[in-house]
Amino acid sequence: MFKPVKVAMIGCGSISGIYLQNITNVFKELELVGVCDLIRERAEKAQAAYNVPKLYETMYDAFADPEVEVVLNLTRPYQHFDVSKAALEAGKHVYSEKPLGADFEEGKALVALAKEKGLMLGGAPDTFLGAGIQSCRELIDRGVIGKPIGAACFMICHGHETWHPDPEFYYKRGGGPMMDMGPYYVTALVNLLGGIQSVSGVTRSFFPKRVITSEPHCGEIIDVESPTHLTGILEFDSGAVGTIFTTFDVHYKSQARFEVYGTEGTMMVPDPNCFDGPIMVLRPEDGEWKEMPLTFDYRENSRGIGLADMACALRTGSPFRASWEQTYHVLEVLTSFEKSNDSHAAYRMETHYDRKPALKRGPIHGVLEEGAAL
C-alpha cells in the first residue's frame, strides 16, 4: 500500500473539469494539492468547487512547492513545451495533456531532459485505457479476427469555431485535426497493432480563414496556420498497413468509422475519444456484425486514469502505459504527415514503440493496483 501521489494542476480551462472530478472523486492513487491558471478566476473556481488546498499565483510557485510530486500540464498545446520543460527542470515528474509538444523537436527536447533528470514524463490521451480499446486489444490478441493486416480510421468534422468558447488555438501552431484529434486515433492504433515504422501523408488547408460564430468571440476572424485536412498511410512494424484521415474542412453528420482488418475477420473499433463501446466484429462464418461485450472497467469518462497509472508506476515500479515512449512515438507520427507532404516522400520514423502490458482488471473501481492507495 502507498500514500497517494500529490499533484499540482497547471491550467484550469475546459478540459480541467473532468480531471478535477476524477482526481478528487475516483482515483485513489492521486491527491490534488494545488491549482494554477493565468486567469486567476478559473483557478479560484476550481479550488472552491473541489476543495483544493492551494492556489498558486504562478506555475513556478507550484514547481517550487516541495509537497508536489507530479505536475499535471493542462495548458494549450503550444504552451505544453514551456510548462513541461520548466517543471522537469524544477525536478517534478510531468503528465501532460496531448500532444507532448507542438512539434517533434519539442518532444525530443523534453524526453532528453526527463532522461537527464531521471524523471517520469508522459501524458494523454488515456482513453486507450478505457473499456472500449482495452476490450478491443484483448479480442485482437486472442486472435478473434486472425492476424491484423490493416486498419482505417476517420475523424471528420467542420472545425470548432461554431461551438467552442475559445477556438482560435485549434488553428494555430500545435493545432489542426491531426494534432488535436489524431492523438486519440494514433494512440489507439499503436495499442492495438504496435509501433509504426513509416508514414506517408498529404496535407491541405482549404479554408485559410475561419469566422467564429460561438460566444464570446462571435464574428472574430481566425487566420489558419496549421493543416486542416490530412490523409496518411501508416506502415506498422508488424507489416500491417493503415490509413488515417482527419479534417476540419468537411461537413459530416455522424461519427466516422474506425476499423481493424484481420485475416479472419473485421473489427469496428469504438470512438477512441471515448472510453466505452460498442465493439462490432464480422467473421465470415457469421455473415453479419456481432456486438462484443466490454470486458474491462472504466466505461465512463475516466480522463486521469493515465495519471493514476503514472502514480502506480512511480510508487511501485509497475508499467507506466501512458509514458513518453508512447506519447513521443505518437507525436512523431502526428508531425510526420506534413513532413511527408512537403518532401513528396515517405517519412521514416526515428522512434520505436513496443506495446506496454494491457491494463489489469481490478476489483475496486478507482484503484488500478490492488491495495495500492491508503
Q: Which residue type occupies 206? A: F
Q: Is the pTM of this model over 0.85?
A: yes
Residue 323 φ then ψ, to 5°: -75, 175
Here the cell at position 238 is: 508488424
**Amino acid, single-letter form, for residue 121:** L
Residue-level pLDDT, tens digit, the chain, 374 residues: 589 999 999 999 989 999 999 999 999 999 999 999 999 999 999 999 999 999 999 999 999 999 999 999 999 999 999 999 999 999 999 999 999 999 999 999 999 999 999 999 999 999 999 999 999 999 999 999 999 999 999 999 999 999 999 999 999 988 999 999 999 999 999 999 999 999 999 999 999 999 999 999 999 999 999 999 999 999 999 999 999 999 999 999 887 899 999 999 999 999 999 999 999 999 999 999 999 999 999 999 999 999 999 999 999 999 999 999 999 999 999 999 999 999 999 999 999 999 999 999 988 999 997 655 44
pLDDT digits (tens, 9 = 90+) for 118-139: 999 999 999 999 999 999 999 9
For 210, phi and psi rounded to 5 degrees? -125, 140
Chain position carrying cell 512539434: 103
* Residue 29 CB-half CA count within 13 A: 24
Give pLDDT, residue 362: 85
Q: Quick one: pLDDT at residue 67?
A: 98
pLDDT at residue 374, as a whole number? 47
pLDDT at 370: 63
DSSP class per residue in 47-106? HHHHT-SEE-SSHHHHHT-TT--EEEE-S-GGGHHHHHHHHHHTT-EEEEPSPSSSSHHH
pLDDT tens column, 280-296: 999 999 999 999 999 99
* pLDDT value for 369: 76
Nearest in space to 37 (alpha carbons), one of 66, 16, 6, 20: 16
Q: C-alpha dihedral over 6, 327, 128, 63, to 10 degrees?
A: 10
Position 1 scores a pLDDT of: 56
